[in-house]
Amino acid sequence: MDTIIQLTYLLSAILFVVGLKRLQSPATARKGNSLAALAMLLAVIATVLDTQILDWTWILVGVVLGGVIGGTAARLVEMTAMPELVGIFNAFGGGASALVAIAEFLATPGVGASTTGVTILLGTLIGSVTFTGSFIAFAKLQGLITGNPITFPLQNIFNALLFLAAISLGAMTLGVFGSGDPQTLFYVFCGLALILGVLLVIPIGGADMPVVVSLLNSYSGLAASAAGFVIGNTVLIISGALVGASGLILTQLMCKGMNRSLANVAFGGFGGTAGVDRSEIGQRPVQSADAEGVAAELGYVNSVVVVPGYGLAVAQSQHELRKVGDLLEERGVDVKYAIHPVAGRMPGHMNVLLAEADVSYDKLYDLDEINDDFGNTDVVLVVGANDVVNPAARDPQSVITGMPILDVDRARRVIVMKRSLSPGFAGIDNDLFYMDKTLMFFGDAKESMAELVREVRELA
Amino acid sequence: MGEFDLMTGLYVFVLAALAGREVITKVPPTLHTPLMSGANAISGIAIVGAIVVAAKAEGALQVTLGVIAIAMATINVIGGFMVTDRMLAMFKKR
């Protein structure tokens, strides 16, 4: 029986890897996700067989409660709110891992300076940081707290001291030095870990969320792995490691997409409006157009590239955008979508929105794939994006210098749909808006886009 | 689970992370959100640990912690896989 259980765990681990592998193509991805779900089911079955469960009541209560909440949330969530949902699910994953470690501590009195003791503390620390950190990320994304960085003097030094205090408390809990009741010390340790999670995320601004969400995703994997070490379960270690690797890769890609180091994102307090001279912003003349004018610009050309940004998600106008794209294609215009890696609030955010609106995924192009094409593009339509198309990135003096941008200013005509001339997350003006080839189409993206649909339809 | 050896555990962890890196590096940017929410669901594997600790919990505190852990992990697993499926169903080629 034990062999069968172990082999089931092994099969589960294999299916997790194979399932992730299928995510390499949109055609096989859905099957891959189902395989991973099957792997999870097998792991749970093996665990149930492996564990002597005397009382099922509470376990079932937990499963039913979690299943109903998770299932309802998954079915009802708007695609525009995916970053928030992933953020909060992440919090629960981290929290669960932390609780496993905490419960194991309570069940093993006098654990002392053993490997078990160290893994318990590690699991508690990473899990707790993931838990509160993800909650703060969720609150920022949801607008419950300000999306701007929350900073205070000597913040990084304070955080470092707090981290050292947590480590010392951990050592005292295991009886490495000092004295005191291990249980009390452990509770204080938990408290510090929870506070650390909050402090690590509050100084990070809204548009840096793709990095934070990815990093917390990685942490939730590491927390699961640590929980695996605590209870001595290989499948936990393996799946946790897979998630940890996935989150780390996404973190690196997002940092690269902004040309900033992880340290700069985590400790830089970048973005928002603090300390930026805004007096010049929006003072220069621009050319603006109405929906009719924009429709005329779009309807009689050969190629249009759409550049969506976070503004599209906020206005939830992805469906109207698709209609504009469809109408243009019916008129024989070649329509593509250019997606910047950090557009939106999480990796791949724009792709999901456009997929929801039924835009074929082979029309979506990454920065590397499309940047050389802008020179041959008739019109670029920028919808609610700003920093990712700011030519200031080529200026060595700029705060966003070196950030890879979509070279939309190389197209023959640029149309920018935007609420106002207000700066993007980086807090700097965008020269693109003032170029001779640029037309500003001001207004709420949802209404403007609906007007645009009507006007394009009426074109002769 | 039988005898658990820390070193073996570390080997497993490192090799799994390397395998994960190989597989996940090749996921195209267009699928990064489903990758993230799918990975998120996988991190709900903590449910396994939660069942183990809940099964042997003694006293109200441990039972409560165990049940909360199971509930949180289940939210993560069920919600994560379902929403990923919902998203992936939308990725179509016309």
Residues 6+ apart with CB under 8 A from A397: none
pLDDT in tens, A257-292: 988 888 888 887 676 544 455 666 667 889 999 999
Distance from CA of B56 to the nearest CA of A (A): 8
Contact criterion met (CB < 8 Å) for B79 and A85: yes
Q: Measured between CB atoms, does A70 come within 8 Å of chain B?
A: yes
Q: Within 10 A of A18 (CB to CB), how many other CB atoms are there? A: 15
pLDDT in tens, A62-76: 999 999 999 999 999
Nearest chain B Cα to A369, which residue?
Answer: B29
Q: What is the domain extent for residue B74?
A: 29-90
Print the SS3 string covering chain B.
CCCCCHHHHHHHHHHHHHHHHHHHHCCCHHHHHHHHHHHHHHHCCHHHHHHHHHHCCCHHHHHHHHHHHHHHHHHHHHHHHHHHHHHHHHCCCC
pLDDT in tens, B64-85: 999 999 999 999 999 999 999 9
Tokens of A455: 């006007």
Nearest chain B Cα to A134, which residue?
Answer: B40
Q: Which residue has the higher pLDDT, A209 or A40?
A: A40
Contact criterion met (CB < 8 Å) for A62 and B66: yes
pTM of the model: 0.91
Interface predicted TM-score of the whole assembly (ipTM), two decimals: 0.95
A387 is catalytic: yes
Residues 6+ apart with CB under 8 A from A199: A155, A158, A159, A162
> From its phi and psi, is residue A110 left (phi > 0), alpha (psi between -120 and 50) or beta?
left
Q: Which amino acid is at A398?
A: S
Q: Within 10 A of A423 (CB to CB), how many other CB atoms are there? A: 18
Q: Measured between CB atoms, does B11 come within 8 Å of chain A?
A: no
Contact criterion met (CB < 8 Å) for B81 and A227: no
pLDDT at position A2: 87
pLDDT at position B2: 43
Residue extents of the structural domains in chain A: 82-267, 291-457
Nearest to A155 by CA among A195, A198, A199: A199
Options 3.40.718.10, 3.40.50.1220, 1.10.510.10, 3.40.50.920; which CATH number does A291-457 get?
3.40.50.1220
Calculate the average pLDDT of chain A: 92
Distance from CA of A288 to the nearest CA of B (A): 32
Q: Which amino acid is at A29?
A: A
**Residues of A with CB below 8 A from B94's CB?**
358, 360
Contact criterion met (CB < 8 Å) for A103 and B13: no
Q: Per the domain annotation, does B63 fall within a domain?
A: yes
Contact criterion met (CB < 8 Å) for A100 and B53: yes
Q: Measured between CB atoms, does A234 come within 8 Å of chain B?
A: yes
Contact criterion met (CB < 8 Å) for A99 and B12: no
pLDDT in tens, A181-237: 999 999 999 999 999 999 999 998 878 888 999 999 999 999 999 999 999 999 999
Q: Per the domain annotation, does B49 fall within a domain?
A: yes
Tokens of B64: 């409560």
Backbone φ and ψ for A259, nearest 5 degrees, come out as 55, 40
What's the structural domain count of chain B?
1
Distance from CA of B81 to the nearest CA of A (A): 6
From A55, A358, A387, A431, the catalytic residue: A387
Contact criterion met (CB < 8 Å) for B52 and A93: no
CA distances to A391, A394, A396, A398, A426 from A401, in Å:
9, 6, 5, 5, 11
Instruction: Note which residues in 248-307 of chain A have CB less than 8 A from chain B.
Output: 249-250, 253
Q: What one-character-per-residue DSSP string does A215-273 give? A: HHHHHHHHHHHHHHHHHT-HHHHHHHHHHHHHHHHHHHHHHHHHT--HHHHHHS---SS
Q: Measured between CB atoms, does B60 come within 8 Å of chain A?
A: no
